[in-house]
């Protein structure tokens, strides 16, 4: 890589296993763009200073992952509606004339993966969202924008689900239920946006909430999606109608890439290559 290659980075803590450098480098190679995309491990107390230094030294774009996404929005001088709605940012871009713009591509990446890659037309469907953290918030707005007939949000801490539904403000279409209050309900799509697959725990949900036409989608991938996949298939979701979050990871990266480089990469070869590893 030449010394003049344009500098990009992903900030997180930990960050060593991030796939973002591989994904962005593959996109850049496809389009003949010289790119130097690195991981930067930033402890929470150093994150803001490190981001500011990165841009002051000529960095042209930064992705942000756990645990910094909320602070990434707060440190920005300007933000997009997608970032404001989710209260967090995963894409930072230097503004012409100085300053930083915050954006969030999680919701758009999710919708593009499920609709374009997996052919699931969200319009008119009944969706259940498990979880109410930052990722869930992005997915909730994206599902509403994509035209689901109804969105039900459940969360271990119900107040967090209520907050999302209140912010969306369409009570006829978006509602919350208690985690243990789903008996008798059935959904076309169940999205897991909890961290149960990472931290451990059970998906204590009635099996009757899915049928064999239902799709189950986990925002996690790899071993972290095994628990939800196991629950979904035991509950009756067809194995090939279970989706993990690998495609969303590639699509949210493509949305950031397009924002920075003005060109949309072909995500399919990159997704296929990663799929062989995960
Ligand atoms: P992120 O921003 O990545 O989405 P987060 O804000 O830590 O992460 O959210 C994690 C989600 O997983 C939350 O919805 C959390 O529920 P709470 O809001 O009650 O904390 C959910 N979660 C984590 N462990 C869980 C468990 N064992 N059972 C049920 N939900 C769990």
What is the domain-level CATH number for residue 12?
3.40.50.10860
Catalytic site residue 137?
no
Distance from C-alpha of 52 to C-alpha of 94, rounded to nearest angstrom: 10
Nearest one of 97, 136, 101 to 217, comparing CA atoms: 136
Mean pLDDT in residue range 166-192: 97
> Does a structural domain hold residue 212?
yes
Give the orientation angle of helix 158-168 with respect to helix 134-145, to 10 degrees: 40
Residue from 64, 88, 110, 131 to probe ligand 1 pocket by mutation (most atoms less than 8 Å from CB): 131
Position 214 pLDDT exceeds 70: yes
Which residue, by CA, sits nearest to atom 16 of ligand 1?
A: 156
Indicate if 113 and 209 belong to the same structural domain: yes
Which residue, by CA, sits nearest to atom 27 of ligand 1?
A: 201
Confidence of residue 89 (pLDDT cuts 50, 70, 90): very high
Indicate if 146 and 164 belong to the same structural domain: yes
Indicate if 129 and 143 belong to the same structural domain: yes
Which residue, by CA, sits nearest to atom 29 of ligand 1?
A: 156
Indicate if 51 and 114 belong to the same structural domain: no
Indicate if 123 and 229 belong to the same structural domain: yes
Parent domain of 146: 107-244
> Does a structural domain hold residue 164?
yes
Position 2 pLDDT exceeds 60: no
Residue from 165, 195, 203, 245 to probe ligand 1 pocket by mutation (most atoms less than 8 Å from CB): 195
Measured CA to CA in angstroms, residue 232 lies from 97, 130, 135 at distances of 50, 13, 20
What is the DSSP pairing of strand 215-218 with strand 242-243? parallel
Position 47 pLDDT exceeds 50: yes
> Does a structural domain hold residue 262?
yes
Ligand 1, CB within 6 Å, residue ranges: 131-136, 155-157, 160, 193-196, 199, 201
Burial classification of residue 153, based on how many CB atoms lie within 10 Å of its CB (0-12 exposed, 13-18 middle, 19 or more buried) = buried
Helices of type H across the chain: 20-31, 47-56, 69-75, 81-86, 106-112, 134-145, 158-168, 196-199, 226-235, 246-261, 267-277
Q: Which tokens belong to 175?
A: 């509602």
Mean pLDDT in residue range 192-204: 95
Burial classification of residue 97, based on how many CB atoms lie within 10 Å of its CB (0-12 exposed, 13-18 middle, 19 or more buried) = exposed
The CATH code of the domain that includes 131 is 3.40.50.720
> Does a structural domain hold residue 149?
yes
> Does a structural domain hold residue 195?
yes
CA of 150 to the centre of ligand 1 (A): 22
CA of 155 to the centre of ligand 1 (A): 8
DSSP per-residue codes, 180-208: T--TT---SEEEE-SSHHHH-------GG
> Does a structural domain hold residue 1?
no
Give yes or no for a contact between 228 and 197, defined as CB atoms under 8 angstroms apart.
yes
Residue from 68, 135, 156, 159 to probe ligand 1 pocket by mutation (most atoms less than 8 Å from CB): 156
pLDDT of res. 239: 97
Total length of the chain: 278
Position 3 pLDDT exceeds 70: no
- Structure-token match 């590893």, residue found: 277
Indicate if 121 and 190 belong to the same structural domain: yes
Q: Work out which ligand 1 atom sits closest to the CA atom of 157.
A: 19
Indicate if 124 and 73 belong to the same structural domain: no
Mean pLDDT in residue range 113-130: 97
Position 61 pLDDT exceeds 90: yes
Give yes or no for a contact between 129 and 154, defined as CB atoms under 8 angstroms apart.
yes
Position 30 pLDDT exceeds 80: yes
Give the orientation angle of helix 20-31 with respect to helix 246-261, to 10 degrees: 50
Distance from C-alpha of 275 to C-alpha of 278, rounded to nearest angstrom: 5
Indicate if 96 and 117 belong to the same structural domain: no
Q: Work out which ligand 1 atom sits closest to the CA atom of 195.
A: 12
CA of 137 to the centre of ligand 1 (A): 12
Indicate if 75 and 143 belong to the same structural domain: no
Mean pLDDT in residue range 241-265: 98
Which residue, by CA, sits nearest to atom 12 of ligand 1?
A: 194
Mean pLDDT in residue range 20-46: 97
Mean pLDDT in residue range 237-264: 98
Indicate if 144 and 167 belong to the same structural domain: yes
Give yes or no for a contact between 189 and 241, defined as CB atoms under 8 angstroms apart.
no
> Does a structural domain hold residue 21?
yes
Indicate if 147 and 73 belong to the same structural domain: no
> Does a structural domain hold residue 180?
yes
Distance from C-alpha of 18 to C-alpha of 42, rounded to nearest angstrom: 13
Position 44 pLDDT exceeds 80: yes
Confidence of residue 5 (pLDDT cuts 50, 70, 90): confident
Q: Work out which ligand 1 atom sits closest to the CA atom of 201.
A: 27
Instruction: Considering only CA atoms, give the Rg of the chain.
Output: 19
CA of 270 to the centre of ligand 1 (A): 29
Indicate if 240 and 113 belong to the same structural domain: yes
CA of 162 to the centre of ligand 1 (A): 14
pLDDT of res. 32: 96
The residue from 52, 69, 78, 137 that is catalytic is 69
How many structural domains comprise the chain?
2
Confidence of residue 4 (pLDDT cuts 50, 70, 90): low
pLDDT of res. 266: 98
């Amino acid at each position: 890589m030449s010394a003049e290659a344009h500098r990009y980075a992903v900030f997180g803590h930990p960050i060593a296993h991030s796939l973002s450098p591989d994904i962005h480098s593959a996109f850049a190679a496809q389009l003949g763009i010289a790119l130097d995309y690195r991981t930067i491990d930033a402890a929470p107390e150093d994150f803001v200073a490190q981001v500011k230094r990165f841009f002051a030294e000529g960095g042209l774009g930064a992705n942000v992952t756990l645990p910094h996404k909320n602070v990434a929005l707060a440190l920005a001088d300007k933000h997009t509606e997608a970032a404001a709605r989710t209260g967090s940012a995963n894409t930072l871009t230097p503004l012409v004339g100085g300053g930083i713009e915050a954006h969030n591509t999680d919701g758009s990446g999710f919708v593009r993966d499920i609709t374009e890659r997996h052919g699931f037309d969200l319009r008119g469907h009944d969706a259940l969202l498990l979880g109410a953290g930052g990722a869930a918030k992005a997915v909730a707005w994206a599902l509403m924008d994509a035209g689901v007939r109804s969105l039900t949000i459940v969360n271990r801490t119900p107040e967090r689900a209520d907050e999302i539904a209140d912010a969306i403000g369409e009570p006829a279409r978006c509602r919350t239920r208690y985690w243990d209050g789903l008996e008798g309900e059935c959904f076309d799509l169940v999205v897991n946006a909890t961290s149960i697959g990472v931290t451990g725990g059970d998906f204590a949900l009635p099996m009757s909430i899915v049928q064999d036409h239902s799709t189950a989608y986990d925002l996690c991938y790899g071993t972290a999606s095994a628990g939800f996949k196991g629950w979904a298939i035991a509950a009756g979701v067809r194995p090939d109608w279970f989706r993990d979050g690998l495609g969303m990871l590639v699509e949210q990266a493509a949305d950031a890439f397009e924002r920075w480089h003005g060109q949309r990469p072909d995500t399919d070869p990159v997704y296929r290559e990663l799929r062989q590893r995960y």
